[in-house]
Amino acid sequence: MLTASFAERRRLSVARDHGVVEKDQIVPLTIFVLLPQFAIIGIADAFLEVAKIEFFYDQAPEGMKSLGTSYSMTSQGIGNFLSSFLLSTVSRVTAKHRHRGWILNNLNISHLDYYYAFFACLNFLNFILFLVIVKFYVYKEDFSPTIEMPNEEKKGCWL
């Protein structure tokens, strides 16, 4: 989110420098300005989804493993709804009292950089909450039975 905020701040700076802020014109930047933030989010999603599914599957009781995996996907859906709610709430709150809101139809006069910085703050608070919860979480121990090899098979073993 910080990367997105900095990229948007750079885009708005270029829009101001070229005089296209109030006009509905194209900002003279390449699309590759957005590449770092999408690469970071893509890499983070790849690690997060695998870890989330593994955690739900590993920590769920034996009879609820598939339900735990479905909770993983459900949490992503809830996150998308929450994101939509936050977008509309931030748009409504920032446009109160005759102020120009952060999220408008013209991106050149919007302040998506503030919106992304707000999300970075929310992510930081989420991380702090995560650390608190992890401190008190007790992992379900893995009780894998060990298989004892007969004496005949142990003779050829290097262990």
Tens digit of pLDDT at every position of the chain (159 positions):
999 999 999 999 998 898 888 777 788 889 899 999 999 999 998 998 888 888 887 888 888 888 877 887 888 899 899 999 999 999 999 998 878 899 988 888 889 999 999 999 999 999 999 999 999 998 877 665 666 666 655 555 555
pLDDT number for residue 19: 87
| pLDDT on residue 61 | 81
Query: Which token pair is 79?
Result: 């996150």
3-state helix, strand, coil in the chain (%, to 5): 65, 0, 35
CA distances for 78 relative to 36, 48, 74, 82, angstroms: 26, 16, 6, 6
pLDDT given at position 152: 57
- The pTM assigned to this predicted structure is 0.77
CA 82 from centroid of its chain's CA atoms:
12
Distance between CA atoms of residues 60 and 51, nearest Å: 14
pLDDT of residue 156: 55
Q: 3-class SS at 140?
A: coil
Tokens found for residue 37:
């933030």
| Token pair in block for residue 76 | 């992503």
